[in-house]
């Protein structure tokens, strides 16, 4: 029987309290902008990040893709790290939706620097696409949950402002980043032109992300969302889960980080583990020794009711979350200690 799922922080189910809150939400037709709960979630998320307006979307892929579509055009280019979700895991959506080009940087654990951005900006020459936008991911998924601090973001933003470039944040795990850096979301509005805030990862809501930015950007984004088929009707039931999550599930992310560190501590003593990437938030990526096959390791875990993710050659990823309890942490550590190759 599978009862411990460490594949992703998207596997959580709404708690009874969240469900209760969802079913009591007042709703209306959100395409007419008449759903009070959707309006509340959008305003609340925007205010949290110091932005003017918000737009509730079915997924983080959609908020990212809308932000790109709204701030680029064909013959222009976006700069991001080669591991970025917008490039690797959105089905080629940038080419499909925006017909824009991508300039890939090779950062450190998914993080890029102001110097790298400066070096990637194209000269004014018709051979090149026109650089239009930079996108950061905080925390970085492929980077094992590494996070940017505010001074790092400010320095990249300065380069963007100097060169009139939009700066997007893929904030699938932005609250994990803010917690780890001990920062508040408010100052982000000085640096980013758009932020995608995910509700269905660590925050434990069943569905959705909110795109926040200026009133003008969100007005344009609302049109794009409609054209992509993302205009939902009585979506307040889903937005309510987001409101509940913002009110009750942000501070508890500290537990996920602590549990990720416990997994790391155990893995560091397992003879079949070659090394564990630094654990800064809720993601644990580790490499198995060449003698230990990924498939065999995953099968051994599965026999004990634990699921994990194959994350490239000899690499495994664990992600801690709301439904990964203290007892499950102890059980997982025990299983890891007992596995033999
Ligand atoms: C999960 C994720 C997203 C959005 O994913 P959806 O499944 O479309 O909500 C975006 N960026 C990163 C880094 C993610 O991990």
Separation between Cα atoms, residue 79 and residue 100, nearest integer Å: 11
Computed on alpha carbons and rounded to an integer, the radius of gyration of the chain in Å comes to: 20
Distance of CA 287 to the CA centre of its chain: 23
Q: What is the mean pLDDT of residues 28-54?
A: 98
Separation between Cα atoms, residue 201 and residue 12, nearest integer Å: 8
> Where does the chain hold its CATH 3.40.640.10 domain(s)?
16-248
Residues in the chain: 341
The reported pLDDT for the residue numbered 332 is 98
The reported pLDDT for the residue numbered 179 is 98
Q: Which CATH class is domain 252-338?
A: alpha beta
Q: Give residue-wise pLDDT tens across range 208-261.
A: 999 999 999 999 999 999 999 999 999 999 999 999 999 999 999 999 999 999
> Distance from the CA of 141 to the center of ligand 1, in angstroms?
9
Residue 186: how many other CB atoms lie within 10 Å:
12
> Distance from the CA of 248 to the center of ligand 1, in angstroms?
21
> Where does the chain hold its CATH 3.90.1150.10 domain(s)?
252-338
Separation between Cα atoms, residue 121 and residue 124, nearest integer Å: 9
Which residues lie with the beta carbon below 6 Å from any ligand 1 atom? 59-61, 64, 85, 137, 141, 170, 172, 198, 200-201, 209
Q: Whose CA is nearest to atom 4 of ligand 1?
A: 60
The reported pLDDT for the residue numbered 263 is 98
> Distance from the CA of 338 to the center of ligand 1, in angstroms?
33
Q: Collect all residues with Cβ–Cβ distance below 8 Å to 140 and sequence separation of at least 6.
A: 81, 83, 109, 110, 111, 146, 147
Q: Whose CA is nearest to atom 5 of ligand 1?
A: 60
The reported pLDDT for the residue numbered 10 is 96
Residue 334: how many other CB atoms lie within 10 Å:
11
CATH number for region 16-248: 3.40.640.10
Number of H helices, E strands in the chain: 13, 13
> Distance from the CA of 257 to the center of ligand 1, in angstroms?
19
Q: Give residue-wise pLDDT tens across range 53-88.
A: 999 999 999 999 999 999 999 999 999 999 999 999
Q: Which helix (H) or strand (E) holds 29?
A: none
- Do strands 101-105 and 130-137 pair parallel, antiparallel, or not at all (unpaired)? unpaired
Q: Collect all residues with Cβ–Cβ distance below 8 Å to 267 and sequence separation of at least 6.
A: 273, 276, 284, 286, 336
Going by C-alpha positions, the residue among 30, 32, 25 that lies closest to residue 42 is: 30
Atom of ligand 1 nearest to the CA of 62: 8
Percent of the chain with pLDDT over 70: 100
> Distance from the CA of 32 to the center of ligand 1, in angstroms?
27
- Do strands 273-276 and 283-288 pair parallel, antiparallel, or not at all (unpaired)? antiparallel
CB 103, CB 120: distance < 8 Å: yes
In the predicted model, is pLDDT for residue 197 greater than 90? yes
Average model confidence (pLDDT) across the chain: 97
Q: Whose CA is nearest to atom 1 of ligand 1?
A: 172
CB 45, CB 197: distance < 8 Å: yes
CB 91, CB 246: distance < 8 Å: no
Question: 63, 172, 204: which to mutate for ligand 1, most atoms within 8 A of CB?
Answer: 172
Q: What is the mean pLDDT of residues 144-169?
A: 98
Q: Token pair of 186, please?
A: 């408010």
In the predicted model, is pLDDT for residue 188 greater than 80? yes
Q: Give residue-wise pLDDT tens across range 111-142.
A: 999 999 999 999 999 999 999 999 999 999 99
Separation between Cα atoms, residue 83 and residue 87, nearest integer Å: 7
Query: Does the pTM exceed 0.95?
Result: yes
In the predicted model, is pLDDT for residue 341 greater than 90? no
Atom of ligand 1 nearest to the CA of 141: 13
In the predicted model, is pLDDT for residue 307 greater than 80? yes
In the predicted model, is pLDDT for residue 323 greater than 80? yes
Question: 62, 65, 85: which to mutate for ligand 1, most atoms within 8 A of CB?
Answer: 85
Q: What is the mean pLDDT of residues 9-13?
A: 96
The reported pLDDT for the residue numbered 90 is 98
In the predicted model, is pLDDT for residue 1 greater than 80? no
Burial class of residue 64, CB neighbours in 10 A (0-12, 13-18, 19+): buried
Percent of the chain with pLDDT over 90: 99
Going by C-alpha positions, the residue among 16, 4, 2, 12 that lies closest to residue 321 is: 12
Separation between Cα atoms, residue 13 and residue 8, nearest integer Å: 12
Instruction: Give helix 253-267 / helix 174-181 axis angle, nearest 10°.
Output: 80
């Amino acid at each position: 029987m599978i009862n411990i799922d460490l594949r992703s922080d998207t596997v959580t189910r709404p708690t009874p309290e969240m469900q209760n809150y969802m079913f009591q939400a007042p709703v209306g037709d959100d395409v007419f902008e008449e759903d009070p709960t959707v309006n509340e979630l959008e305003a609340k998320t925007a205010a949290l990040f110091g932005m003017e307006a918000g737009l509730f979307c079915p997924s983080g892929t959609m908020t990212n893709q809308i932000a790109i579509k709204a701030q680029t055009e064909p013959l222009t280019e976006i700069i991001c790290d080669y591991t970025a979700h917008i490039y690797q895991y959105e089905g080629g959506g940038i080419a499909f939706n925006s017909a824009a080009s991508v300039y890939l940087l090779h950062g450190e654990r998914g993080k890029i620097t102001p110097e790298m951005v400066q070096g990637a900006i194209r000269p004014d020459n018709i051979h090149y696409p026109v650089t239009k936008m930079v996108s950061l991911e905080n925390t970085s998924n492929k980077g094992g949950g590494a996070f940017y601090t505010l001074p790092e973001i400010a320095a990249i933003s300065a380069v963007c402002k100097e060169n009139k470039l939009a700066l997007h944040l893929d904030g699938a795990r932005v609250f994990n980043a803010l917690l780890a850096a001990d920062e508040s979301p408010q100052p982000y509005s000085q640096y980013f032109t758009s932020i995608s805030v995910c509700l269905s990862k660590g925050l434990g809501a069943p569905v959705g992300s909110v795109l926040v930015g200026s009133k003008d950007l969100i007005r344009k984004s609302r049109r794009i969302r409609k054209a992509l088929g993302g205009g939902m009707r009585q979506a307040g039931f889903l937005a309510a889960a987001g409101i509940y999550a913002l009110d009750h599930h942000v501070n508890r992310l500290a537990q996920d980080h602590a549990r990720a560190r416990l997994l790391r501590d155990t893995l560091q003593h397992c003879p079949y583990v070659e090394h564990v990437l630094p654990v800064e938030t809720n993601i644990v990526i580790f490499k198995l020794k060449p003698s230990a096959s990924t498939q065999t390791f995953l099968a051994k875990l599965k026999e004990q009711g634990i699921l994990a993710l194959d994350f490239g050659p000899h690499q495994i990823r664990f992600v801690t979350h709301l439904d990964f309890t203290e007892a499950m942490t102890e059980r997982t550590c025990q299983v890891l200690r007992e596995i033999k190759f």
